[in-house]
Amino acid sequence: MAESAQRQADHDMAPADLRHETAASHAHDPPGDAALHRIVVVGGGAGGLELVTRLGDRLGRRSRAAVTLVECGRTHLWKPLLHGVAAGSLNPGEYEVDYLAQAHWHGFRYRFGEMIGLDRAKREVHLAATFDQEGRQITPPRSLGYDTLVIAIGSTTNDFGTPGVAEHAVPLETPGQAERFNRRLVNACLRAQTQEGPVRPGQLHIAIVGAGATGTELAAELYHTTREVVAYGLDRIDPQRDIRIVLIEAGKRILPGLPERISEATHRLLDEIGVEVRAGAMVTEVTADGVKLADGSFIPSELVVWAAGVKAPDVLRELDGLETNRINQPVVEQTLQTTRDSAVFALGDCAACPRPGQSTPVPPRAQAAHQQAGHMVRQIERRLRGKALQPYTYRDFGSLVSLGKWSTVGNLMGFLLGRSIFVEGLFARIMYQSLRMMHERALNGTVRAMLGVLARALAHRTGPPVKLH
Ligand SMILES: Cc1cc2nc3c(=O)[nH]c(=O)nc-3n(C[C@H](O)[C@H](O)[C@H](O)COP(=O)(O)OP(=O)(O)OC[C@H]3O[C@@H](n4cnc5c(N)ncnc54)[C@H](O)[C@@H]3O)c2cc1C
């Protein structure tokens, strides 16, 4: 049978057939699962956590399926908040979601561990053992059986093989990395305040490599928070003289993925506030003291952030024969099923999902992960009822870039007008925050999401606006 015909036949399979295929691998499951369709979602990020929460509410609680989340973290923090954590303007504890509690409240199981392999014939996901900080084992190596598998493990930083990045630059992929950067930043300020001599060249300089949305937002936010930290009594530091933030971009302009008008408006604003922008500058090496460029120049810098591109995690490169592209993403059909196995789906940053009529796949954005999670909920319900799956179509609602306290700029797609509309200021800021609210509502419901906003607003009135330790 041709591959596509086989896939169509798989789409149309009845739930009983789906269970029958995999009866041999039920040995690893809790006793109550034997008769249930087992849905395993690997990765509880922007897409995966929304997916298991909704599947748990709709299917898990009603014993219509056994829904399991495999996740290598203990808590979830929505990734677009990471630059705020790195800059110290956001306390991660106020936004984190505890996986165990979320699973308990929403009818799914949480299995702590990292996916390291897959056996498609047996329909099992392999998890590595986990260890605590003293080296004691927490969970053993194990395998989990599935009838439907969804891979949603996001993306990691792509250093394109640039020497020195792994040793000297900080990526912004996890809350741990963002907090580590913030600690280094506050330590750098404390060191400069108490050292014998004056601040050395490059000492309080920050180089951000990559002027996509992440790098650009971080530059603006850092400009503000470094001044806030210094204002709390670090009087030997003169921010105007000593602190320098350089945003480096290999492309001709910053925000290369966004319309030119947004890029220009953002560049102007960064110029006005004093962030130095180096566009068309290719980094060839990162050293302990700074960043070397292809034109031979050197940017001295005590702190270097690498935000210059993403790829899917290496575990996906060879995942039991699934088709992948050059950045490790499993290639999926528009139904989000992987091309070589209709029981394995992928979504979010880690998936190469086609866009009809476009040469590039769906971009790695929180709004894409959110849309795909919503689509997947409906498709899994269809799959359980033995109905054919429907294709996912990406809807680009626009892009917004937050420039800290100064402004928010971006474009919104005006579907009625059929073109994108430039927005900035308060309206843009409200729209920017609405994306996060959509994620919080998907996880917590409207009432708890609103209570969260209120609680954070109160907390901010009683503490310093930046992290000082
Ligand atoms: C600093 C920053 C700012 C951003 N700002 C924006 C923005 O303003 N707007 C926007 O649209 N997008 C933004 N993005 C991109 C957006 O965050 C991602 O597109 C989105 O998070 C992708 O969702 P996801 O579910 O695919 O993956 P993630 O949200 O990355 O979740 C992946 C999850 O998988 C887990 N995991 C990874 N590997 C394994 C494994 N082997 N086994 C088990 N679990 C695993 C991880 O711990 C994580 O919880 C930003 C990204 C960053 C880093």
pLDDT in tens, 349-396: 999 999 998 989 999 999 999 999 999 999 999 999 999 999 999 988
Res 152 pLDDT > 60: yes
Residue 73 beta carbon below 6 angstroms from any ligand 1 atom:
yes
Residue 455 phi/psi, 5-degree rounding, is -60, -40
Q: pLDDT at position 27, please?
A: 44
Q: Which residues contact 195 (CB under 8 A, 6 or more apart)?
A: none
Residue 390 phi/psi, 5-degree rounding, is -105, 150
Res 22 pLDDT > 50: no
Q: pLDDT at position 282, please?
A: 95
- Could you give the CA distance from residue 457 to residue 441 in angstroms, rounded to a whole number? 17
The vertex-82 CA angle with 153 and 80, nearest 5°, equals 65
Res 4 pLDDT > 80: no
Residue whose tokens read 């130095």:
276
Residue 213 beta carbon below 6 angstroms from any ligand 1 atom:
yes
Q: pLDDT at position 233, please?
A: 75
The vertex-380 CA angle with 374 and 383, nearest 5°, equals 145
Of 49, 53, 79, which is best to mutate to test ligand 1, by the most ligand atoms within 8 angstroms of its C-beta?
A: 79
Under DSSP, is residue 390 helix (H, G, I), strand (E, B) or coil?
coil
Residue 164 beta carbon below 6 angstroms from any ligand 1 atom:
no
**Minimum-distance ligand 1 atom for the alpha carbon of 218:** 1
For the chain, give the percent of residues with pLDDT over 90. Answer: 61
Q: pLDDT at position 30, please?
A: 61
351 compared with 20, residue with greater pLDDT? 351
Beta 148-151 vs 341-346: how paired, if at all?
parallel
Residue 330 beta carbon below 6 angstroms from any ligand 1 atom:
no
Q: Span 55-71, mean pLDDT?
A: 97
How many helices and strands in the chain, by DSSP H and E? Answer: 12, 26
CA 348 – ligand 1 centroid, Å = 8
CA 457 – ligand 1 centroid, Å = 25
- Could you give the CA distance from residue 281 to residue 247 in angstroms, rounded to a whole number? 10
**Whole-prediction pTM:** 0.89
The residue whose CA has the least distance to atom 6 of ligand 1 is 80
The residue whose CA has the least distance to atom 38 of ligand 1 is 153
Residue 215 beta carbon below 6 angstroms from any ligand 1 atom:
no
CA 158 – ligand 1 centroid, Å = 14
Residue 47 beta carbon below 6 angstroms from any ligand 1 atom:
yes
Q: Is residue 250 within 8 Å of residue 281, measured between CB atoms?
A: yes
Radius of gyration of the chain, Cα coordinates, nearest whole angstrom: 23
Q: Span 124-143, mean pLDDT?
A: 96
What is the residue type of 309? G
Res 164 pLDDT > 70: yes
Name the residue among 391, 395, 360 with its Cα closest to residue 376. Answer: 391
Say which DSSP state 392 is in: -
Q: Span 138-144, mean pLDDT?
A: 96
Residue 431 beta carbon below 6 angstroms from any ligand 1 atom:
no
Q: Is residue 85 within 8 Å of residue 184, measured between CB atoms?
A: no
Q: pLDDT at position 403, please?
A: 82
Q: pLDDT at position 461, please?
A: 65
Residue 178 beta carbon below 6 angstroms from any ligand 1 atom:
no
Q: Which residues contact 171 (CB under 8 A, 6 or more apart)?
A: 156, 157, 177, 305, 306, 307
- Could you give the CA distance from residue 62 to residue 66 in angstroms, rounded to a whole number? 10
- Cα distances from 415 to residues 44, 370, 458, in angstroms, run 31, 19, 37
Residue 82 beta carbon below 6 angstroms from any ligand 1 atom:
yes
- Cα distances from 136 to residues 70, 72, 139, 439, in angstroms, run 21, 17, 9, 35
Structure tokens at 383: 């799959």
Residue 35 phi/psi, 5-degree rounding, is -95, -5
Residue 87 beta carbon below 6 angstroms from any ligand 1 atom:
no
Q: pLDDT at position 99, please?
A: 98
CA 8 – ligand 1 centroid, Å = 31
**Minimum-distance ligand 1 atom for the alpha carbon of 348:** 26
Contacts within 8 Å (CB) and 24+ apart, 235-241: 235/193, 236/192, 236/193, 236/199, 237/189, 237/192, 237/193, 237/199, 237/204, 240/274
Q: Span 3-27, mean pLDDT?
A: 39
